[in-house]
Amino acid sequence: MHVTTIPLTDSELVSLLKEGDKEAYAEIYNRFKGVLYIHAFRLLQDKEEAKDVVHEIFSRLWTKREQLNFTIGLSAYLYASVRNLIFDQIARKKVESEYLSSLQAFIKEDDYITDHLIREKELVAMIDREIAELPTKMREVFELSRKANLTHRQIAEQLDISEKTVKKQVNNALKTLRVKLGTYTFLAFFL
């Protein structure tokens, strides 16, 4: 750009900018940086983000200078560019926020499931320990009843004892476990 005392119009500056004139670019920057910053700040309410947006707009202006072709004036183009960039950032932040919320919910759900599985395993181990402490014959009858799902008749035949004895052993085992495990745990697993 030739130094002149007559200020150039926006369209003249754009023509020089398209040719790669750095002085024209500097003039556009100096002419619009303040008003674009105010515009960006009004929309964002954040000084640093507003500065970043203005910097990005001017960076894009220089990078795409050869492709510039707009029917609106330079100032309208720059204002629209600021607005569009901010809307893009807001949309991207919203998507990121929704993704993070979804991820946090998944992690919480996963933690809940993991916690539940751990508690269930601990509870099963505790019940197995209590069953293991039952007297030998009672434990054998109880395990055939509850773990092998055999009927009282099948157990009686397998162990060569009466059905009445099987029923009594199962009832005694249940009473013992109810006392040792507590009513809630007992009801959750055996009824």
Q: Which residue has the tokens 């007297």?
A: 135
Topology of domain 10-98 in CATH is Rna Polymerase Sigma Factor; Chain: A (1.10.1740)
Buried b (16+ CB within 10 A) or exposed e, 173-186: bbebbeebbeeebb
**Position 3 confidence tier, pLDDT thresholds 50, 70, 90:** very low
Taking only the tens place, the pLDDT of each residue in 17-60 is: 999 999 999 999 999 999 999 999 998 888 999 999 999 999 99
Q: Give the mean pLDDT of the chain.
A: 82
Topology of domain 133-190 in CATH is Arc Repressor Mutant, subunit A (1.10.10)
Residue 162 backbone dihedrals phi, psi, to 5 degrees: -80, 155
Taking only the tens place, the pLDDT of each residue in 91-136 is: 777 776 777 777 677 666 666 666 667 777 777 777 788 888 888 8
Rounded mean pLDDT of 155-164? 91
More confident residue, 82 or 183: 82
Q: Where are the domains of the chain?
A: 10-98, 133-190
- The pTM of this model reads 0.49
